[in-house]
């Protein structure tokens, strides 16, 4: 709406937006193909992957809480090859060569050989962290059973393979019998370009929206396995490149929630307690758009589901590229954390 209808809204909250729809679906198909056959990670293997990610990344933020809060440093700290099965002996506690190759594919960008709408040439890699969460990697990427074609039940398949293979067949090829395993975007370039222009929300020039006083809050969940969270990061960076940081800061706030899945929820892998996720973004955008009060770091809460809905934990929701560093004190108290950047 901010890109195409900039006069329609004074304030917009956009949470986990698809943005690069064409790239998302193509990457979903690619990931499904990578997981076929010997590349598939069973739910037990996903748990093994998640444990190894936590071993490498959990304490980078100063607290062993089962949440990867220092999300920008995890890729450098974790290498899936560390899980390689010794002497070719397979088990649920290690990964084979084919499984490692699949993990590396999922955590690599999907690159097009030609530009999509607004000059975009890739869809970002997926993040590490939150793999075994409810609504995590099994639900969206690996599935409860190996991906196949022709497709089996949607309950068995990773949703992104289900969606991505359908996108290839119906949106691009226009043929329900087209084999998505043979898809090469360059073979369908005019159609891919047409769909990208129609569906993708990647235009970084929000100057018309800004000129009339519009305000935008963008939110991303860093353990989202439905849409790579770096998708929103890439779009935010493109706005900064186009408009400049000072201009972007005057009308945009970009927040991230480490550890949260696509729907914003999640639990600690240490004690199973709910991740602080409640935040009133409507109040934040209303205060900004109507009263000129620009939001800073916000606070997210976890609450008892029963009346009187007591707050059980709180944590800062930092502006990108900052993340919540644990500074000491009660780990369920927002005052024990500080939003910092990589150079702090």
Residue 40 is given by DSSP the state P
Backbone angles phi, psi at 64, to 5 degrees: -85, 90
Burial group, residue 150, by CB count within 10 angstroms (0-12, 13-18, 19+): exposed
Task: Yes or no: say if 50 and 131 are a contact pair by the CB < 8 Å rule.
Answer: yes
User: Is the pLDDT at 343 greater than 80, yes or no?
Assistant: no
Which pLDDT value is given to residue 236? 98
Which pLDDT value is given to residue 328? 97
Q: Which of 303, 45, 260 is nearest to 135 (CA)?
A: 260
- Res. 42 pLDDT band, cuts 50 70 90: very high
16 φψ region: left (φ > 0), alpha (ψ -120 to 50), beta (else): left
The pLDDT tens digits for 17-38 are: 999 999 999 999 999 999 999 9
Residue 214 is given by DSSP the state -
Q: 338: helix, coil or strand?
A: strand
The pLDDT tens digits for 203-235 are: 999 999 999 999 999 999 999 999 999 999 999
Runs of H (alpha helix) within 219-325: 230-243, 245-251, 281-291
Task: Yes or no: say if 106 and 124 are a contact pair by the CB < 8 Å rule.
Answer: no
Q: How far apart are CA 344 and CA 342, in angstroms?
A: 6
The mean per-residue pLDDT over the stretch 240-252 comes to 98
User: Is the pLDDT at 331 greater than 90, yes or no?
Assistant: yes
Residue 5 is given by DSSP the state -
Burial group, residue 297, by CB count within 10 angstroms (0-12, 13-18, 19+): middle
- Res. 344 pLDDT band, cuts 50 70 90: low
The pLDDT tens digits for 62-113 are: 999 999 999 999 989 999 999 999 988 899 999 999 999 999 999 999 999 9
Burial group, residue 235, by CB count within 10 angstroms (0-12, 13-18, 19+): buried
Which pLDDT value is given to residue 268? 87
- Contacts of residue 283, defined as CB under 8 A and 6 or more positions apart, other chains included, come to none
Q: In this structure, what token pair is assigned to residue 281?
A: 């973004």
DSSP for 84-124, written as a single string: BPGGG---TTSB-HHHHHHHHHHTS-EE-SS--GGG--EEP
CA 220 from chain center: how many Å?
7
Q: How far apart are CA 85 and CA 206, in angstroms?
A: 49
């Amino acid at each position: 709406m901010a890109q195409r209808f900039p006069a329609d809204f004074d304030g917009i909250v956009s949470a986990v937006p698809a943005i690069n729809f064409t790239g998302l679906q193509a990457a979903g198909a690619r990931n499904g193909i990578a997981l076929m056959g010997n590349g598939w990670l069973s739910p037990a293997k996903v748990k093994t992957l998640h444990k190894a990610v936590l071993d490498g990344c959990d304490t980078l933020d100063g607290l062993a809480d089962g949440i990867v809060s220092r999300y920008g440093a995890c890729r450098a700290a974790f290498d899936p090859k560390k899980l390689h099965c010794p002497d070719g002996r397979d088990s649920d506690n290690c990964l084979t060569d084919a499984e490692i190759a699949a993990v590396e594919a999922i955590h690599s960008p999907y690159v097009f050989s030609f530009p999509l709408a607004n000059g975009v040439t890739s869809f970002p890699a997926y993040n590490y962290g939150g793999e075994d969460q409810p609504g995590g990697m099994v639900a969206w990427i690996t599935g409860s059973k190996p991906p196949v074609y022709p497709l089996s039940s949607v309950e068995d398949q990773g949703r992104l393979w289900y969606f991505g293979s359908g996108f290839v067949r119906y949106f691009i090829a226009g043929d329900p019998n087209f084999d998505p395993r043979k898809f090469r975007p360059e073979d369908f370039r005019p159609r891919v370009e047409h769909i990208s222009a129609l569906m993708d929300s990647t235009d970084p020039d929000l100057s018309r929206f800004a000129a009339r006083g519009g305000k935008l809050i963008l939110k991303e969940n860093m353990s989202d396995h439905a849409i790579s969270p770096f998708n929103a990061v890439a779009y935010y960076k493109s706005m900064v490149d186009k408009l400049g940081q000072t201009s972007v800061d005057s009308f945009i706030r970009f927040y991230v929630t480490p550890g949260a899945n696509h729907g914003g929820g999640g639990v600690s892998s240490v004690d199973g307690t709910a991740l602080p996720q409640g935040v009133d973004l409507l109040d934040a955008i209303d205060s900004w758009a109507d009263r000129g009060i620009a939001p800073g770091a916000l606070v997210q809460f976890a609450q008892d589901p029963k009346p009187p809905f007591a707050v059980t934990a709180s944590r800062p929701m930092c502006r990108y590229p900052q993340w919540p560093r644990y500074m000491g004190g009660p780990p369920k108290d927002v005052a024990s954390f500080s939003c910092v950047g990589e150079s702090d």
